[in-house]
Chain A
Amino acid sequence: MLLWVLAAAASPAVAEPRQGPSEFRLGDELGEGTLDLAVPESPAFSALGLTPQQVSRPSTARELATSFLNGVDRDGNFQTGIAIDVAPYMLLAGPRITLQQYQRSDQYLTRFLARWQMSFATSRGGGAEDTSSKLALGMRFTLLDEGDPRTDDRLLSCLSDAADAVLASADPLPPTMSDDQIALEMRRREESVRAAARPCRQEAEKRRWNRSAWIVGVAPTWTSPDGTTSQVEYSGTALWTSAGFGFEGVPVLEDHAMLAAYVKMRNQEVAPDPLDPGSFVTQDSLTAGARFLFGQPSTQFNVEALWIRNDREDSLEDRYWNLGFGFEQRLVENIWLNLAFGRQLAREESGNDFTVVGGFNWGFGPR
Chain B
Amino acid sequence: MPRTLSETVLEASKGQPTVEIIFGSAHVGNYRCFLWDPDGRNPEQLAHGNNIDDVPDSFVIPVDPADLDGHILSQELIVQAADTRPGQVYSVTTTVRQGGKICVGGVIQKSGSLDDVKSLIDFRRFRTA
Residues of A within 8 A of B (CB): 20, 41, 55, 57, 59-60, 85-87, 90-91, 94-103, 114, 148-150, 152-153, 155-157, 159-160, 162-164, 166-168, 170, 172-176, 182, 185-187, 189-190, 193-194, 197, 201
Provided the pairs A97-B24, A97-B26, A190-B119 are in contact, do residues A176 and B89 lie with their beta carbons within 8 angstroms?
no
Given A94-B90, A102-B26, 15 additional A-B pairs, CB 8 A? A87-B87, A90-B88, A94-B25, A94-B111, A97-B26, A99-B52, A149-B82, A150-B26, A163-B80, A172-B43, A176-B2, A176-B40, A182-B121, A186-B120, A197-B80
Contact A175–B123 (Cβ < 8 Å):
yes
Least Cβ–Cβ distance between B119 and chain A, in angstroms:
4
Least Cβ–Cβ distance between A108 and chain B, in angstroms:
14
Provide the residues of chain A in CB contact with B116, threshold 8 Å: 194, 197
Q: Does B34 contact A (CB under 8 A)?
A: yes
Partner of B87 from the list A85, A101, A160 (CB cut-off 8 Å) is: A85
Q: Does B13 contact A (CB under 8 A)?
A: no
Provided the pairs A85-B87, A166-B78, A174-B40 are in contact, do residues A194 and B117 lie with their beta carbons within 8 angstroms?
yes
Contact A155–B78 (Cβ < 8 Å):
no
Contact A99–B28 (Cβ < 8 Å):
yes
Partner of A175 from the list B3, B25, B52 (CB cut-off 8 Å) is: B3
Provided the pairs A160-B52, A190-B117, A194-B116 are in contact, do residues A172 and B76 lie with their beta carbons within 8 angstroms?
yes
**Identity of the chain A residue whose Cβ is nearest the Cβ of B93 in the assembled complex:** A95
Contact A114–B26 (Cβ < 8 Å):
yes
Instruction: Kindly supply a per-residue 1/0 record for chain B positions 16-38, scoring 1 wherever the CB is within 8 Å of any chain A CB and 0 otherwise.
Output: 00000011111111111010100
Contact B111–A60 (Cβ < 8 Å):
yes
What is the size category of the interface that chain B forms with chain A? 35 or more
Least Cβ–Cβ distance between B57 and chain A, in angstroms:
9
Provided the pairs A59-B113, A60-B111 are in contact, do residues A96 and B24 lie with their beta carbons within 8 angstroms?
yes
Least Cβ–Cβ distance between B52 and chain A, in angstroms:
5
Contact B119–A193 (Cβ < 8 Å):
yes
Bound Cα distance from A94 to B2, whole angstroms: 33
Provide the residues of chain A in CB contact with B80, threshold 8 Å: 159-160, 162-163, 193, 197
Least Cβ–Cβ distance between A280 and chain B, in angstroms:
33
**Identity of the chain A residue whose Cβ is nearest the Cβ of B41 in the assembled complex:** A174
Q: Which of B68-122 contact A (CB under 8 A)?
A: 72, 74, 76, 78, 80, 82-91, 93, 109, 111-113, 116-121
Contact B52–A157 (Cβ < 8 Å):
yes
Contact A99–B27 (Cβ < 8 Å):
yes
Bound Cα distance from A155 to B26, whole angstroms: 14
* 5 closest A-B pairs by CB: A57-B87, A149-B82, A102-B26, A163-B30, A94-B25
Bound Cα distance from A163 to B74, whole angstroms: 18
Least Cβ–Cβ distance between A203 and chain B, in angstroms:
13
Provide the residues of chain B in CB contact with A193, threshold 8 Å: 78, 80, 117, 119
Contact A160–B91 (Cβ < 8 Å):
no
Q: Does B1 contact A (CB under 8 A)?
A: yes
Cβ contacts A to B, 27 pairs, < 8 Å: A41-B85, A57-B87, A57-B113, A59-B111, A85-B87, A87-B89, A90-B89, A95-B91, A95-B109, A99-B28, A99-B29, A100-B51, A102-B26, A103-B26, A149-B82, A150-B26, A156-B28, A159-B80, A163-B30, A164-B48, A166-B78, A173-B76, A174-B41, A175-B3, A176-B40, A182-B121, A185-B119
Provided the pairs A57-B113, A160-B50, A201-B84 are in contact, do residues A98 and B22 lie with their beta carbons within 8 angstroms?
yes
Provide the residues of chain B in CB contact with A166, threshold 8 Å: 78
Partner of B51 from the list A99, A152, A168 (CB cut-off 8 Å) is: A99
Q: Does B60 contact A (CB under 8 A)?
A: no
Provide the residues of chain A in CB contact with B5, threshold 8 Å: 175
- Name, among B3, B45, B76, B87, the residue most crowded by chain A CB atoms within 10 Å (CB to CB): B87
Contact B24–A95 (Cβ < 8 Å):
yes
Contact A186–B121 (Cβ < 8 Å):
yes
Provided the pairs A99-B52, A155-B82, A190-B119 are in contact, do residues A90 and B2 lie with their beta carbons within 8 angstroms?
no
